[in-house]
A and B are shown apart, each in its own frame.
Chain A
Amino acid sequence: DIVMTQTPLSSPVTLGQPASISCRSSQSLVHSDGNTYLNWLQQRPGQPPRLLIYKSSNRFSGVPDRFSGSGAGTDFTLKISRVEAEDVGVYYCMQATQFPYTFGQGTKLEIK
């Protein structure tokens, strides 16, 4: 199974400041079809997960442009350019390149 490791696990951030979450996979996420199936999810308190980024760097419909994803192979990053109060929650990376799909442990974003 592919192991997904996120850092940090907790991220206190000042409003208006940037935030960054790293995700590393135990093996390359490049699929045989050439795509990299690495997604980023946001889960606000008491809410279901919400897709933010798919295939490493594609922002999903309706997601603010302050969210961006980057990376390739085994190293990926989610960046929030200016954190807003509504961004509080847990962020997960997940790989859908190979079954079983696997998730990172989650990174809790909180406001300082």
Chain B
Amino acid sequence: EVQLLESGGGLVQSGGSLRLSCAASGFIFSTYTMTWVRQAPGMGLEWVSSIRGSGDSTFYADSVKGRFTISRDNSKNTLYLQMNSLRAEDTALYYCATISSGWGQGTLVIVTS
């Protein structure tokens, strides 16, 4: 069974940085494209970023390009999202997902101005 556990969320001031982690288990991590999706309070789902299994290709939403960096450590079965230059509009629950088989519980990021 796919299990994904996010961590690293918290309260940060505008302009600050956070690094999210997602520990994966129950599947062959290195063979899956991994994705971050966020959900602002009371809103719908927004794709943020994805990374291929080997880590050689990354993709970003225009809203985070140049500020966020997705990465993975296949030896640790862990996905990361480095978030810099945070803005109030980045406030959301951030989910880690395989898209085709499982979603995590989410970690909350609150950016104060």
Q: Specify which chain B residues have a CB less than 8 angstroms from the CB of A50 in the assembled complex.
A: 103
Size of chain A's interface in residues, with CB distance under 8 A? 20
| A39 and B99 contact, CB distance less than 8 A | yes
The number of chain B residues touching the other chain, given as a range, is 20 to 34
Number of A-B contacts (CB under 8 A): 52
Identify which of A51, A55, A101, A106 contacts B103 (C-beta below 8 A). A51
| B45 and A103 contact, CB distance less than 8 A | yes
Asked whether A34 is an interface residue with its Cβ less than 8 Å from the other chain, the reply is: no
Q: Specify which chain B residues have a CB less than 8 angstroms from the CB of A49 in the assembled complex.
A: 37, 45, 95, 97, 103
Minimum CB distance partner of B46 in chain A: A103
Asked whether B102 is an interface residue with its Cβ less than 8 Å from the other chain, the reply is: yes
Question: Given that A100-B59, A100-B61, A101-B35 are known contacts, is A51 also in contact with B44, CB under 8 Å in the complex?
Answer: no
In whole angstroms, how far apart are the Cα atoms of A105 and B97 in the complex? 19
Question: Given that A49-B103, A51-B100 are known contacts, is A92 also in contact with B59, CB under 8 Å in the complex?
Answer: no
Which of A39, A50, A100 has the largest count of B CB atoms less than 10 A from its CB? A100
Asked whether B78 is an interface residue with its Cβ less than 8 Å from the other chain, the reply is: no
| B103 and A99 contact, CB distance less than 8 A | no
| A92 and B44 contact, CB distance less than 8 A | yes
Please list the residues of chain A having a beta carbon within 8 angstroms of any beta carbon in chain B: 39, 41, 48-51, 54-55, 60, 92, 94, 96, 99-106
A-B contact pairs, 12 of them (CB 8 A): A48-B106, A49-B37, A51-B101, A51-B103, A54-B100, A92-B45, A99-B50, A101-B35, A101-B47, A101-B50, A103-B47, A106-B45
